[in-house]
Structure 1
Amino acid sequence: MMAADQSVRDLPDAQAQRPASAGQEPHRNGRIVPGDDDGAFAPPLIQDLARSKVPPGFRGRSAVYVQLWWIVQALLVHPSPQVFYGWRRFLLRCFGARIGKGVLIRPSVQVTYPWKVEIGDWSWVGDDAKLYSLGPIKIGRNAVVSQGSHLCAGSHDHRDPRFTLIAKPITIEDQAWVAADAFIAMGVTVGAGAIVGARSVVLRNVPPMVIACGFPARVIGPREMGPRREEEAGPECAPPPTEPGATRR
């Protein structure tokens, strides 16, 4: 025990790694400095949030305009009946979003900056999905962003003590499906026809026509098409005609 204790004391930074006792001064940059009450180890000052500010032009609109949108979203979008899809498309377009024909957006969807959002024709955005559009978010045609998914097009620069906001675009290409509760990081493109599995965390691009899932998401196989339903099949896929009086099974 004495030898082990001695080896710890011999480490050059051992004192900085030990909790301070009552009346001791806190650690700052690996040293003890005045003012500590709880005796906990304090790292160097790496996040000085008192100096944090939104970079000029980052929002793309004035702070007043942003607040106006958030009020409209809270009072007119979220309480709207589910079937009022046209009403929500209208409000989003009023604030600069480019929303295609037949887009279905649920009332509980959260959009941070609609002027940075583009959604193609016939796409769906499910309940409680978050379009955290600090950077541009583009969703293609016939694409699905399922309930609870988070498209996070912004973050902070952890190397900057001011914790500066940063943003990169997210693209969900045509006919892709982001399944429930998935997280899509900034800078990611989900390729055309790809599927992101439920609760996956996507940190890198997903190629077209694959299925990716996990944390972090990885490709587990191709997206394969099954036979078309009879009512959607063309003449070449139609079932043979039945004889009079026969029953189709």
Structure 2
Amino acid sequence: MKQTLNWQNVAYESPPIYSGVWPRIKNEGKILLAENCSFRSFRTRPYITVLKDAVLEIGQGTFVNDGVNLCAKLSIKIGANCKIGDMTYIYDTDFHQVSPQYPTKCAPISIGSNVWIGANSMILAGSKIGDHSVIAAGSIVVGEIPAKTLAAGSPATVIRQLDMPDDWVRD
């Protein structure tokens, strides 16, 4: 594990925990993994792509499930103790332009701490998700989701506020 991480130029505080197959990594930038990050891939391997000069940061205790696909062209920052549901896509770029009038969108993504992202969701360029928020399964986030809210839909909108202490951490 350590040899693979070093070969991929992945910086880590402690080797991540993983079950199943290790994620496929293409790293031309910087990947930073905090302590106790974990990955699970029994059915579908997660993919992590960090393009030239981009940064991917995954916070302490964050869990990444089956088939998650992360692609950073600029910056993706995921806070501590997050849960990322299977088959979720987090892209800070649209990859291609739709037409000459609409250039390719590329903007950093920020996901706060203790965020739960449901399965089959998409977090797209420029999205910001506040601490303690929940993104319902199948949602598409294209903007800002405030802290301590439940958001759902396409595009994701706030459904309700969540009441919890600031120091509470999801199991």
TM-score by length of 2: 0.72
Does the aligned pair in 2 maintain the 1:206–1:212 contact within 8 Å? yes
1:150 is aligned to 2:89: yes
Deviation readout 1:126-158 (Å, 9 max, x if unpaired):
110111212311100011111111112101333
Report the residue type matching 2:40 in the other structure: R
Report the residue type matching 1:137 in the other structure: I
Does the aligned pair in 2 maintain the 1:210–1:219 contact within 8 Å? yes
Pick aligned residue for 2:138 from 196, 199, 203: 199
Q: CA deviation at 1:177?
A: 1.0
CA distance in 1: counterparts of 2:21 and 2:48, whole angstroms? 17
2:154 maps to which residue?
215
Does the aligned pair in 1 maintain the 2:27–2:50 contact within 8 Å? no
CA distance in 2: counterparts of 1:217 and 1:98, whole angstroms? 28
Q: CA deviation at 1:214?
A: 1.1
Q: CA deviation at 1:159?
A: 4.0
Pick aligned residue for 1:97 from 26, 31, 34: 31
Pick aligned residue for 1:160 from 97, 100, 106: 100
- Uncovered stretches (5+) of structure 2, i.e. residues with no partner: 1-6, 9-17, 166-171
CA distance in 1: counterparts of 2:28 and 2:63, whole angstroms? 19
Pick aligned residue for 2:110 from 142, 167, 171: 171
Report the residue type matching 2:145 in the other structure: V
Does the aligned pair in 2 maintain the 1:93–1:99 contact within 8 Å? no
Helix, strand or coil at the partner of 1:158: coil
The structure with the largest alpha-carbon Rg is 1
2:67 maps to which residue?
128
Q: CA deviation at 1:96?
A: 2.9
Distance 1:120 1:160, change over 3 A: same
Report the residue type matching 2:107 in the other structure: K
2:124 maps to which residue?
185
Does the aligned pair in 2 maintain the 1:132–1:151 contact within 8 Å? yes
Report the residue type matching 1:129 in the other structure: V
Q: Higher relative CO (CA 8 A, sep ≥ 6), structure 1 or 2?
A: 2
CA distance in 2: counterparts of 1:92 and 1:173, whole angstroms? 24
CA distance in 2: counterparts of 1:143 and 1:214, whole angstroms? 20
1:141 maps to which residue?
80
Higher fraction of helix: 1
Q: Which range moves more in the overlay, 108-117 or 141-150? A: 108-117
Q: After superposition, where does 1:25-174 map in structure 2 within 5 Å?
A: 82=19, 96-107=30-41, 108-113=45-50, 116-155=55-94, 156-160=96-100, 165-174=104-113
Deviation readout 1:74-105 (Å, 9 max, x if unpaired):
xxxxxxx72677xx6xx789973100000002
Report the residue type matching 1:120 in the other structure: G
TM-score by length of 1: 0.51
